[in-house]
C-alpha cells in the first residue's frame, strides 16, 4: 500500500482535538507520521506531551521538535504559559525536557528535502511553517500544506490565525498548494456525551489518557469538545469529507476588530470572478462521512 507521509505541526496540550488527530493518524496504516513540530507558547512542554502520547502507541521512534513559542511580530501572550493539560503529564512522570538541537523550521525543510510529496499538516498557529517559508521560500512554495485555520464564509477571526496573523499571511503568500480547513466547517465536528461515554467503556489505556485530557480541558474552559484538527486526518483518508473551493484571500493584519480575519480579494463585481492562485478552502463538510471514519477507526 502506498502510504501518505505526513508531518504534523501542533499546539497539542490546550484543546483536545490535536491529540485526537494524532490518535486517528496513528491508527491508520495508510498514513506514516514522519515527525512532529510544536508551536505556540511553551513548545518544550507541548513536545513532552506529544512524546508521551506517541509512547502510548509505542512510537518513540517518531522525532518531535519543539518550535517557536512566540508569534513573529506580536508579544501579546506569555510564551512560557503551561499548556492546559500539562498537569496530567506532571502527575504521570516528572518533567523530562529534551533538547533536539534542531530548529523546527530546519526539521520541516529537511523532511521536505527527503520527500517532496510529504504532506504538512498545520494544527496550530502557523509560526513554524512561516519560519520555514522565510528560510527557504522556493521549497515551501512547492510543499503540500493542509492547515486548520481561518474563517472564509464569515468575517470573524479564527484562533490559529489570531495567535500569529503575520505567520498565516506569510504561509498564504508563499505556499502554492495550500488547503485551509476553516472554522466554517470544523465547528460542526462536535463530540457529544454519547460518544465520550462509549469511548470510556472501551477500557483502552490510550483512550483513557485522552479522556483525562478532555476532562481537564472542559474543567478549565467549559468549551464543548470539537474535533477541528481531526478533519485534517479525515480528509486524507477520504477526499470527499470536505468540498474545496478555490479562493483569493489575504490575512487582514490591521484593524481593531478585523485583525486576523480573511479578506476576500476576488473581484466583487464579477458573478464568477477569476481566481488567481491555487489556494483552496473547505466550504462544506460531510458529517456522515466524517463520523463514519471516526466510528470505525478512532
Ligand atoms: Ca490545534
Name the one residue in this structure whose C-alpha cell is 481531526.
230
pLDDT at residue 72 in the model: 93
The sign of the torsion formed by the CA atoms of 229, 15, 170, 8 equals negative
Among candidate residues 224, 47, 73, the one with its CA nearest the CA of residue 163: 73
Contact at 8 Å (CB) between 262 and 183? no
The pTM of the full predicted model, rounded to 2 decimals, is 0.96
Which are the contacts of 67, defined by CB distance < 8 A and separation ≥ 6?
A: 9, 37, 38, 39, 43, 103, 104, 105, 127, 128, 131
CATH code for the domain of 12 = 3.90.245.10
The whole-number pLDDT of residue 92 equals 82
Residue 97: the pLDDT is: 64
What pLDDT shows up at residue 81?
87
Q: At a CB cut-off of 8 Å and minimum separation 6, what does 174 contact?
A: 130, 133, 137, 140, 141
C-beta atoms surrounding 212 within 10 Å:
15
Give distance in angstroms: CA of 182 to centre of ligand 1. Answer: 12
Q: Which pLDDT score, from 0 to 100, does residue 40 have?
A: 96
Residue 93 pLDDT = 76
Does the pLDDT value for residue 77 go beyond 80? no
Distance in Å, CA 21 to ligand 1 centroid: 9
Q: Average pLDDT over the chain, rounded to whole?
A: 95
Enclosing domain of residue 163: 4-297
Residue 32 vs residues 2, 102, 229, 269: alpha-carbon distances, Å: 10, 21, 17, 45
Checking if the pLDDT of 214 tops 90, the result is: yes
Q: Cβ neighbours of residue 61 under 8 Å, at least 6 residues apart?
A: none
For residue 180, how far is its CA from the centre of ligand 1 (angstroms)?
13
Output the CA 274–ligand 1 centroid distance in Å.
33
User: What distance in angstroms lies between residue 16's CA and the mean position of ligand 1's atoms?
Assistant: 8
Give the sign of the dihedral formed by CA 164, CA 49, CA 32, CA 35.
positive
Residue 273 Cα to ligand 1 middle (Å)? 33
Residue 150 Cα to ligand 1 middle (Å): 13
| pLDDT computed for residue 89 by the predictor | 87
According to DSSP H, which parts of 27-158 are helical?
A: 43-56, 86-92, 104-114, 127-135, 137-141
CA of 147 to the centre of ligand 1 (A): 10
Q: Chain-centre distance of CA 197, in angstroms?
A: 25
pLDDT digit string (tens) for 151-169?
999 999 999 999 999 999 9
- Ligand 1 centroid–CA 12 distance in Å is 6
CA of 271 to the centre of ligand 1 (A): 36
Residue 41 CA to ligand 1 centre (angstroms): 12
Question: How far apart (Å, rounded) are the C-alpha atoms in residues 33 and 51?
Answer: 13
Please give the distance, rounded to the nearest whole angstrom, from the Cα atom of residue 61 to the centre of ligand 1.
22
CB 51 within 8 A of CB 68: no
The rounded Å distance from CA 194 to ligand 1 centre is 23
Per the DSSP assignment, residues forming a β-bridge with 179 are: 146, 280
Distance 9 CA to ligand 1 centre (A): 9
- What's the 267 CA to ligand 1 centre distance in angstroms? 32
Which of the 8 DSSP states describes residue 294? H
Cα 206 to ligand 1 centroid, rounded to whole Å: 19
How many separate domains does the chain show?
A: 1
pLDDT-based confidence at residue 183 (cuts at 50, 70, 90): very high
Polymer length of the chain: 298
CA of 272 to the centre of ligand 1 (A): 34
Give pLDDT tens digits for 15-70: 999 999 999 999 999 999 999 999 999 999 999 999 999 999 999 999 999 999 99
Q: Is the Cβ–Cβ distance between 146 and 109 less than 8 Å?
A: no
Amino acid at each position: 500500500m502506498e502510504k501518505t507521509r505526513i508531518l504534523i505541526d501542533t499546539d497539542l496540550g490546550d484543546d483536545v482535538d490535536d491529540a485526537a488527530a494524532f490518535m486517528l493518524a496513528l491508527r491508520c496504516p495508510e498514513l506514516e507520521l514522519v515527525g512532529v513540530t510544536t508551536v505556540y507558547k511553551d513548545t518544550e512542554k507541548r513536545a513532552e506531551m506529544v512524546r508521551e502520547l506517541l509512547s502510548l502507541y509505542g512510537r518513540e521512534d517518531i522525532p518531535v521538535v519543539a518550535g517557536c513559542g512566540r508569534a513573529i511580530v506580536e508579544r501579546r501572550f506569555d510564551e512560557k504559559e503551561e499548556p492546559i493539560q500539562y498537569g496530567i503529564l506532571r502527575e504521570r512522570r516528572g518533567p523530562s525536557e529534551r533538547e533536539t538541537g534542531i530548529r523546527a523550521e530546519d526539521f520541516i525543510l529537511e523532511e521536505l528535502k527527503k520527500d517532496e510529496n510529504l504532506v504538512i499538516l498545520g494544527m496550530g498557529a502557523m509560526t513554524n511553517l512561516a519560519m520555514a517559508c522565510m528560510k527557504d521560500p522556493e521549497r515551501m512554495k512547492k510543499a503540500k500544506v493542509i492547515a486548520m485555520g481561518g474563517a472564509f464564509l464569515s468575517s470573524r477571526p479564527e484562533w490559529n490565525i489570531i495567535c500569529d496573523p503575520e505567520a498565516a499571511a506569510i504561509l498564504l503568500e508563499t505556499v502554492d498548494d495550500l488547503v485551509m480547513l476553516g472554522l466554517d466547517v470544523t465547528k460542526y465536528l462536535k463530540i457529544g456525551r454519547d460518544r465520550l461515554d462509549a469511548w470510556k467503556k472501551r477500557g483502552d489505556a490510550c483512550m483513557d489518557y485522552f479522556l483525562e485530557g478532555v476532562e481537564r480541558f472542559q474543567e478549565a474552559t467549559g468549551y464543548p469538545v470539537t474535533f477541528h484538527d481531526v478533519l485534517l486526518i479525515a480528509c486524507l483518508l477520504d477526499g470527499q469529507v470536505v468540498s474545496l473551493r478555490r479562493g483569493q484571500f489575504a490575512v487582514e493584519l490591521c484593524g481593531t476588530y478585523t485583525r486576523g480575519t480573511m479578506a476576500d480579494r476576488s473581484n466583487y463585481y464579477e458573478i464568477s470572478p477569476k481566481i488567481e492562485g491555487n489556494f483552496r478552502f473547505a466550504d462544506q463538510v460531510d458529517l456522515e462521512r466524517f463520523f463514519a471514519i471516526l466510528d470505525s477507526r478512532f
